């Protein structure tokens, strides 16, 4: 995070203090990867027997850390997660793979575990070699810094253009046992996830098989991180990992559809949605948080595609930034999405005020309350297609000149 960045006006008023999860410690150090005067590497340590699931970017130019995670997720075992900010280690060729190899080896040797139980994620500038030496050099200090209450430190260490840390926590019941879920994420620009956000890490003390954990995480991702966008650009580095220690004493779970998981599923979905919304609220240069509710589509997938077409439209986003109730741009975005839409059934509302019906603007439409709504920080757009039962909610932010300022000088 550049010191000149002011905190987003959409940032939450308070940051939660995450509870301890037995067996998990987190630490952060200043390793000089790119930044000066701030931490930029974090390490999460997990107990023997912990399992992991993940979803990774579908980008065809994925980073070396993403490919390392993809290679090892199927094993389902984890002892540590290492992450750095400032350098994405993407499009760095064989040297990038070598950097991951040496960094994960430094962790594995320090812990006495297999290297394929060490997962890595990187975020920052694309195309610059990542020197692995700082990881080995700072590994003793990083492990020494790891604490059960190190959540805030770990979250701050992975920030790039973020203006505030993003943390969330939930508790729920599995059987008679209370289970905790903690998570933190980073992301501000290059956000149009095709799986997750740029980087996000979640942890729980539930005892679940890797396959069950993976199914729950994939389902939660589709309702959360895959429903946000800031600028329509999918990162090379998108990584979402969920680790479970197995410390909670609840009945054995073998299937993702076990009735005992109802509360856990809801808690995981809520946690992921909160983290995803925090990313959208911290969109580069954002001044308004936008919720787009699409209903009546031919399928849930069609609803998402239409919602994202609206959310990614520069014309829609700049109109809202300028507090211009130009609903015609929403009509345009729905029409270009490539999904079925019927002019005469399409109903658009902003701030709860119906604007279109029967293929045209409603009689005696009064724009005054709509303009008043758009002048606020939270804008709600409802799109009813009237074609089926498909629905989806998408979250985004407006597009201001500040976005150009940030990205026009990102490498400098």
315: CATH: 3.10.20.340
Domain holding 362, by residue range, is: 289-408
180 and 227 together in one domain: yes
273 and 252 together in one domain: yes
The answer to the question of residue 393 being in a domain is: yes
The reply, when asked if residue 407 is annotated as ligand binding, is: yes
Residue 163 has φ and ψ, to the nearest 5°, of -105, -10
Residue 130 has φ and ψ, to the nearest 5°, of -100, 115
The answer to the question of residue 58 being in a domain is: yes
The reply, when asked if residue 284 is annotated as ligand binding, is: yes
Strand pairing of 80-87 and 118-125?
Answer: parallel
> CA-CA distance, 32 to 262, in Å (whole number)?
44
The pair of structure tokens assigned to 172 is 């729920």
376 and 242 together in one domain: no
> CA-CA distance, 57 to 194, in Å (whole number)?
6
304 and 159 together in one domain: no
Number of domains, the chain: 2
Asked if residue 55 has pLDDT above 90, the reply is: yes
How does residue 1 score in pLDDT terms, banded at 50, 70 and 90?
A: very low
The reply, when asked if residue 368 is annotated as ligand binding, is: no
The reply, when asked if residue 412 is annotated as ligand binding, is: yes
Q: Partners of 374 in the beta sheet?
A: none
| The model's pTM | 0.94
pLDDT in tens, 20-52: 999 999 999 999 999 999 999 999 999 999 999
The reply, when asked if residue 197 is annotated as ligand binding, is: yes
| CB contact set of 108 (below 8 Å; sequence gap of 6+) | 79, 80, 114, 115, 117, 118
Q: Is 197 a catalytic residue?
A: yes
> CA-CA distance, 36 to 132, in Å (whole number)?
17
Cα dihedral: 95, 96, 101, 104 (round 10): 140
Q: Which residue is it, tokens 């139980």?
A: 117
Asked if residue 412 has pLDDT above 70, the reply is: no
Specify burial of residue 142 (Cβ count, 10 A radius: 0-12, 13-18, 19+).
Answer: buried
Give the residue-averaged pLDDT of 134-163.
Answer: 97
220 and 321 together in one domain: no
133 and 155 together in one domain: yes
CATH classification of the domain holding 107: 3.60.70.12
Query: Of the listed 39, 163, 197, 239, which one is catalytic?
Result: 197
pLDDT in tens, 309-366: 999 999 999 999 999 999 999 999 999 999 999 999 999 999 999 999 999 999 999 9
pLDDT in tens, 216-258: 999 999 999 999 998 887 888 899 999 999 999 999 999 999 9
The answer to whether residues 297 and 310 touch, using CB atoms and an 8 Å cutoff, is: no
144 and 189 together in one domain: yes
270 and 315 together in one domain: no
pLDDT in tens, 163-218: 999 999 999 999 999 999 999 999 887 777 777 667 999 999 999 999 999 999 99
The answer to whether residues 226 and 183 touch, using CB atoms and an 8 Å cutoff, is: no
| CB contact set of 303 (below 8 Å; sequence gap of 6+) | 294, 295, 297, 385, 390, 391, 392
**What 3-state DSSP class applies to 86?**
strand
The answer to the question of residue 3 being in a domain is: no
Of the candidates 242, 257, 281, which is a domain's last residue? Answer: 281
119 and 147 together in one domain: yes
């Amino acid at each position: 995070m550049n010191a000149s960045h002011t905190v987003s006006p959409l940032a939450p008023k308070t940051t939660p203090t995450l509870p301890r999860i037995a067996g998990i410690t987190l630490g952060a150090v200043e390793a000089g990867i790119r930044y000066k005067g701030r931490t930029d590497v974090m390490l999460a340590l997990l107990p023997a027997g912990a399992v992991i699931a993940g979803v990774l970017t579908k980008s065809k130019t994925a980073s070396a850390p993403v490919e390392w995670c993809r290679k090892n997720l199927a094993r389902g075992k984890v002892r540590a997660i290492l992450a750095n900010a400032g350098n994405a280690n993407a499009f760095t060729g064989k040297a990038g793979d070598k950097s991951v190899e040496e960094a994960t080896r430094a962790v594995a040797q320090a812990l006495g575990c297999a290297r394929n139980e060490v997962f890595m994620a990187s975020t920052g500038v694309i195309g610059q070699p990542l020197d692995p030496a700082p990881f080995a050099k700072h590994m003793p200090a990083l492990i020494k810094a790891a604490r059960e209450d190190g959540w805030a430190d770990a979250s701050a260490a992975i920030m790039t253009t973020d203006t505030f840390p993003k943390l969330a926590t939930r508790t729920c019941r599995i059987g008679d046992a209370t289970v905790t879920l903690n998570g933190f994420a980073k992301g501000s620009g290059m956000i149009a996830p095709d799986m997750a956000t740029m980087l996000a890490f979640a942890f729980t003390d539930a005892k679940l098989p890797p396959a069950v954990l993976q199914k729950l995480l994939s389902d939660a991702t589709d309702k959360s991180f895959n429903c946000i966008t800031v600028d329509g650009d999918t990162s090379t580095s998108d990584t979402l990992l969920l680790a479970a220690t197995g410390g909670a004493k609840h009945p054995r779970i073998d299937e993702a559809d076990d009735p005992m998981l109802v509360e856990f599923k809801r808690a995981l979905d809520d946690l992921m949605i909160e983290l995803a919304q925090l990313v959208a609220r911290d969109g580069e240069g954002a001044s308004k948080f936008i919720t787009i509710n699409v209903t009546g589509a031919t399928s849930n997938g069609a609803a998402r595609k239409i919602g994202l077409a609206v959310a990614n439209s520069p014309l829609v986003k700049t109109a809202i930034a300028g507090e211009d109730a130009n609903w015609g741009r929403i009509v345009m975005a729905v029409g270009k999405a490539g999904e079925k839409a019927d002019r005469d059934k399409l109903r658009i509302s902003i701030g709860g005020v119906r604007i279109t019906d029967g293929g045209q603007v409603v009689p005696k439409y009064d724009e005054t309350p709509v303009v008043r709504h758009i002048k606020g920080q939270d804008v709600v757009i409802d799109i009813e297609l009237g074609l089926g039962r498909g629905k989806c909610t998408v979250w985004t932010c407006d597009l201001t000149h500040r976005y150009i300022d940030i990205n026009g000088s990102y490498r400098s």
